[in-house]
Amino acid sequence: MTAHISIAMNNITTKPFLKWAGGKYRLTSVIRAALPQGCRLIEPFVGSGAVFLNMDYSSYVLADSNRHLIDLFQLVKDGGVEFIDYCQSFFDGDVNSESVFYQRRDLFNSTHDIKLKSALFVYLNRHCFNGLCRYNSKGFFNVPFGRYKLPLFPRQEMLAFYRKSQYASFIVSDFSQTMKMAEKGDVIYCDPPYVPLSATASFTSYTQGGFGLEEQNKLAAMALELSLKGIPVIISNHHTPFTLNAYKDARIELFDVQRFISSKAESRGKVSELLAIFS
């Protein structure tokens, strides 16, 4: 069954501290309405954590294949205000310049100090183009300088994340391994890299491995398998003929979303997305 829904903005949502391509901050009210009750929320593709921050489960398993992201989240959880202060120090002084940005990008790509790398991740995220997270074939972060007037340090957002993170476990994991952890009473929300809308629109460099159609089909198959065991799975994606076929065993909710990540302003129109609800 397919239904079209309208998006009602929630004025009390908690904002994530990272900018994120495809982040779900503006859609939390839609996702909240679709997620059933349960004891624990599992997110195999946690991204910025926007969904986790705005849900009311007793506990959370938050996974991602991006180790830099999970290391950062773990340090926020464990380090609290002291680590947040450390991250803020990278925003002090005259640091909004190309020269500083590229020096720090090089340092991020070369250092093995997890604390330093995590703080640099926050700096790069707020200063790079559109807050993208992208790596080249060698695994080096390669997003260019963003040329923003004055990137602000997201202190209040990091403090809110720290408080909520005390109820969460963070793991570096492939989505299939994360989903295998699910038990009766869990709810799974999946926000995978989206199926491209066109042959030239693919964005596959979030991690070195990419996420192709084979992985999309595997995710759909696992969602169906888990739902038949009484574990509901909800998946976000673009509304395309491919996704409609992949999610043919799910209930589909459609909605239009304003696109914000694009190098050209005229390309930032509305696109049709869906929630596939396997339950």
Predicted confidence (pLDDT) per residue in 216-233, tens digit? 999 999 999 999 999 999
Q: What is the pLDDT of residues 31-67, one digit of tens each?
A: 999 999 999 999 999 999 999 999 999 999 999 999 9
Q: Give the span between the Cα atoms of 267 and 260, in whole angstroms.
A: 9
pLDDT for the residue 211: 83
Q: Give the span between the Cα atoms of 126 and 96, in whole angstroms.
A: 10
What confidence tier does 23 reach under pLDDT thresholds 50, 70, 90?
Answer: confident
Look at residue 278 and tell me whether its pLDDT is greater than 50: yes
What confidence tier does 196 reach under pLDDT thresholds 50, 70, 90?
Answer: confident
Q: What average pLDDT does range 124-150 have in this prediction?
A: 94
pLDDT for the residue 162: 98
Q: What average pLDDT does range 174-188 have in this prediction?
A: 97
Q: What percent of the chain shows pLDDT beyond 70?
A: 87
pTM of the model: 0.89
Looking at per-residue confidence, does 266 or 249 come out higher? 249
Q: What percent of the chain shows pLDDT beyond 90?
A: 80
Q: Give the span between the Cα atoms of 202 and 112, in whole angstroms.
A: 30
Please give the structure tokens belonging to residue 19. 């900018």
Query: Structural domains in the chain?
Result: 2-65+173-278 (3.40.50.150), 70-157 (1.10.1020.10)
Look at residue 260 and tell me whether its pLDDT is greater than 60: no
Please give the structure tokens belonging to residue 69. 């992201």
167 Cβ neighbours under 8 A, 6+ residues apart: 57, 58, 59, 60
Looking at per-residue confidence, does 128 or 211 come out higher? 128
pLDDT for the residue 4: 60
Question: How crowded is residue 219: how many other Cβ atoms within 10 Å of its Cβ?
Answer: 24
pLDDT for the residue 101: 98
